[in-house]
Amino acid sequence: MTDEELWGQVRAGESEAFGQLFERHAQAVFAYCLRRTGVWAAAEDLMSVVFMETWRKRTSVVIEGSLLPWLYTVALGVTRNHQRSRTRYRAALGKVPPQHADQDHADDVARRVDAETRTKAVIAELEKLPAGDREVLEMSAWSDLSQAQIAQVLGIPVGTVKSRLARAQRTVRGALVEEAL
């Protein structure tokens, strides 16, 4: 079943369909949030917030094709307002059962720490960019969205996406691997 078909069910209030969309896109949203925040636990929470907010807006959102562009739109907003979002959703996030210590094996912890370390190093480089340029570059590098979709997500013209991307690439070239750009 396509995202559009599932979303039609979600708009009618079917939570199971929303669960399927969650399973389909949770990893992509989590990865985006982790790359934006550099903190594993925060990224997990923000991922949940993105889906909660998407559910809340279900009656007013129409999607064409994939739900991902919309999820990235929401993810961009909640990562921008990380602190505020945590306050708003604290009660709901508090209901997520904590991870048991006996499941938290050393390998898993090391895997998380490595991911956070890698991500924070990239964030440190990207923070040298103006916010607008940075968001375009991040969306371009971390999602499969086209430039037209990125323009839609960020609410700016496609030409602006292109010019910001070019400027951002010039700025970070050398510090970050070019082929990834």
Partner 1 sequence: MNITPDIPQLDPMRLQVRKHALLNEISTKPSRRWWRFAVPATALVAAVVATLVLWTPTNPNAYASWTAEPRAPGADADAAIAECRAMIESSAEHGGGYRPDWPAMPTEVSVVDQRGIMTLVLFTGPESEMQCFHTPQGHSVSGGGTSKGLEPLGDKLFGSIGGASMSTDRDGSNPMRIYSGMVSQKVGKAVVHTEDGLKVTATIGKGWLLAWWPSRGDATSITLYDHEGKELGTQSTRIG
- Interface residues with partner 1 (CB under 8 A) are 15-16, 18-19, 22-23, 26-27, 30-31, 34-35, 44, 47-48, 51-52, 55, 57, 59-63, 69-70, 73, 77, 80-81, 83-84, 87, 91-92, 95-97, 99, 103, 108, 111-112, 115, 118-119, 121-122, 125-126, 131-132, 137, 141-142, 155-156, 172, 175-177, 180-181
- For 75, 79, 100, 108, 159, the CA distances from 103, given in Å and listed in that order, are 28, 28, 5, 9, 48
Burial of 141 (0-12, 13-18, 19+ CB in 10 A): middle
Residue 58's nearest CA partner among 70, 43, 46, 68 is 70
Least distance from partner 1 to the Cβ atom of residue 1, Å: 17
Q: Compare residues 112 and 167 and give the one whose CB is closer to partner 1.
A: 112
- How far apart CA 147 and CA 144 sit, in angstroms, is 10
Least distance from partner 1 to the Cβ atom of residue 110, Å: 10
Q: Compare residues 6 and 119 and give the one whose CB is closer to partner 1.
A: 119
Q: Compare residues 5 and 96 and give the one whose CB is closer to partner 1.
A: 96
Least distance from partner 1 to the Cβ atom of residue 4, Å: 13
Cβ(172)–Cβ(125) below 8 Å = yes
Burial of 123 (0-12, 13-18, 19+ CB in 10 A): middle
Q: Compare residues 6 and 34 and give the one whose CB is closer to partner 1.
A: 34
Q: Compare residues 5 and 84 and give the one whose CB is closer to partner 1.
A: 84
Tokens representing 117 are 């370390």
